[in-house]
Amino acid sequence: MPLKRKGPLQTLQRETDDIKKQVDALVRDVQQLDRTVGSAGLTEASQRCGDLQKSTEETMKTLKKLTKAEEPAPVGNYEQRKLDEERRLQTIQQQLQSLSVMLSVPQKPTQSEKVTPSASQDEESEEESEEEDEDDDEEKQTDFFVVVCTFVGEQEGDLTVQKGDFLRILTKNPDGWWLAEDSKGRKGLVPKTFLKVPQDQEEEEEDEDESDTEEEGEEQLEPTTKLRCGFETQPPDGAMNATDVLSAMGAIPAGFRPSTLSRMLAEGNTYRSSYYIQPELSQSQLAFKDLFWDSDTGNVRPRVARSSLMLTLWSCRMIPGPGVGVQVLSRHLRLCVFDGVKVLSNIHTVRACHSPKNPKMWTFSPRTAGILPSLLDGDCFVRSDSPSPDLGILFELGVTYIRNSTGERGDLSCGWAFLKLFDASGAPVPHRTHELNVNGGTPYERGVDVDPSISRRATGSVFHQMLASRKQPKLLVKLRLPSTKNRATLNLLPDSLVGSTCSIQLLALYRQVLADALVRDRPTIQNADLICNPVLATFKEVLDHTDLLDALRSAWAEKESTLRRSHKRDCELLKGLFVEVYMSTVFPLLWSPALPPAQWADEEQETLRWNAVFASATLGVRDGAGLSALLSVNPAQEAFDITQLMVSLSCNKCSSC
């Protein structure tokens, strides 16, 4: 019997398998690089990485040229298999790119490279020292530094230091590993990126080279945070001083930090839902990258993302709280899509509940229904199309506090957890309940405990260690696939978005209205005139205020309950009703002076605003009073602005349209 002939796609799959094996072997070698080889091994690993990158790129080009007609025998589901292979190659490319960055960063010297330099090296060092002495303005010769991040020695000759220790620098080696002496006279090597100039010394040198010092500090931080921690995050800013004060007072646990995700939310709209719900323009700026019209169905064309799943927040346990003198205004959890380097989605917030009888236990309220706030909804959806092999969900447990003595408000991180969505082979992690360890510090720190005192007690017998492990903070979450109905709705949303499950239908209706105005009804794709559509002009603002979105959700649920089953399948009818409900409920509230301003974690203000929102929204949807208020003789509205009605196509996810 003749052998079955292999098709081009099957041959390419085997080539990809071979490349994957070589990449896995390279990863293992790189992980052992510091302990087994020196600079020669680094060069060899870098060369192997480059060769694999070329092979992967050539294989990708070959794959894209393949067609079903080239197959010697029929292949079932050919296009899907080809797409799966393309995604596998993209994952390998991303992995090789990360390895290339890692290998390009100066590595830590091995023991053989830490010996006393030779005579020729001494001469070269003397020449370099003379050049440095000629130009002191380029680099300050500082003797004393403070440790900004705990470092545990990895090899003989390293110096283990704790955050806050003062060190005297004896030698500044060009490879980035400095010889230091601590207060007890112990000497050893420490990475310079873990050190900074003491605050008082910085103030003395501020007038001379403030800008140079900041630039140098940023350059020094980036390699270490990538290699040792896996996060490309800047170190805490001035808010850290307030946290240090509270820590010194014993008011907060040692593992608490200023909230990283809260700071990102406060810096602008880049990490808000309103930014990610907007369509993204293509490179030509003449069409959209993630919003297409399907003429066959008369609807938005569905887009299947790499990750599209449902997430249920269950509880957090053993989360310590602030001590005396600090009042907690809000306990909450913020989550986003993260790839170990940067945030890839909006940051979604869910408020937690707790009982005074068990203050270390945080719980969430899944499946919010009716007019209950979606801010309490522990059922979330996560959507991302990133090809990163390290794709996952970053969770940050936080509290908003106020100091009783000063009235100062702030946001603290009580710890963070990370749930990777794909394993080393690229397969999705199991869709089940996951118990995640909660780490202290910030996402760019490693090995920090929320409450270090628990770890110190975790010594002795195995039984005592098991008891101590049960006292460690944990986060309980459940991953599951969306239902058939939810999957179809999620495919109408942008490629990257995180939000509450109860808002999926509203977001999908908005995207359909958006496609009608921006794609279907445009005269030509080159037309970029202003579009008069108050829903599109203002919906993103509603999305950033959960109480307004809840009012719209409640009004829509009431309207939908009156529809027949056939009407619920009529897409054009649903879009028209959505616009009608929106205009009669939340649109008049956006510029109503009677609506109290939003104030996060202010219970009294939140209650006043909640009552005002739902009193107006309920009256509007039942009696049509919303539009009547806009057309009344003495309207109680703020001054009219053209941005309330007009949408521009010339911008790409900006805050002005």
**How high is the mean pLDDT in each 10-residue block of the chain (657 residues)?**
67 90 84 56 82 90 86 81 84 77 52 42 46 42 73 77 82 79 81 73 44 37 33 39 68 88 90 89 73 77 91 93 87 94 93 89 75 86 93 96 88 95 91 94 84 60 64 93 92 93 93 85 68 87 91 90 88 91 88 85 88 73 53 58 64 45
65: Cβ contacts below 8 Å, ≥ 6 apart? none
How far is residue 63's CA from residue 85's CA, in Å, rounded to a whole number? 8
**Can you say whether the dihedral through the CA atoms of 263, 265, 270, 271 is positive or negative?**
positive
So what's the architecture of 8-104 in CATH?
Answer: Up-down Bundle (1.20)
b/e map of 356-369 (b: 16 or more CB within 10 Å)?
eeeeeebbbbbebe
| Contacting residues for 409 by C-beta, under 8 A, at least 6 apart | 329, 400, 401, 402, 601
| Ramachandran region, residue 407 (left: φ > 0; alpha: ψ -120 to 50; beta: rest) | left
Rg (CA), the chain: 29
Please tell me the predicted confidence (pLDDT) of residue 120: 43
Amino acid residing at 567 = H
Which residues, in sequence order, are CB contacts of 356 under 8 Å at separation 6+?
A: none
The CATH T-level fold of domain 239-278+300-484 is Immunoglobulin-like (2.60.40)
User: Would you say the pTM of this structure is higher than 0.85?
Assistant: no
Structure tokens at 123: 């001469």
Task: Read off the amino acid at residue 502.
Answer: C
Buried b / exposed e over 318-343, threshold 16 CB at 10 Å, is: bbbbbeeebeeebbbbbbbbbbbbeb
| CATH architecture of the domain with residue range 141-229 | Roll (2.30)
In Å, how far are 150, 228, 242, 442 from 232, measured between CA atoms? 18, 11, 23, 11
Q: Residue 464 has what pLDDT?
A: 61
Domain boundary assignment for the chain: 8-104, 141-229, 239-278+300-484, 522-647
Please tell me whether residue 79 adopts helix, strand or coil conformation: helix
Q: What is the pLDDT of residue 7?
A: 84
CA end-to-end distance (rounded Å), the chain: 69
- Encoding tokens for residue 76? 């079932």
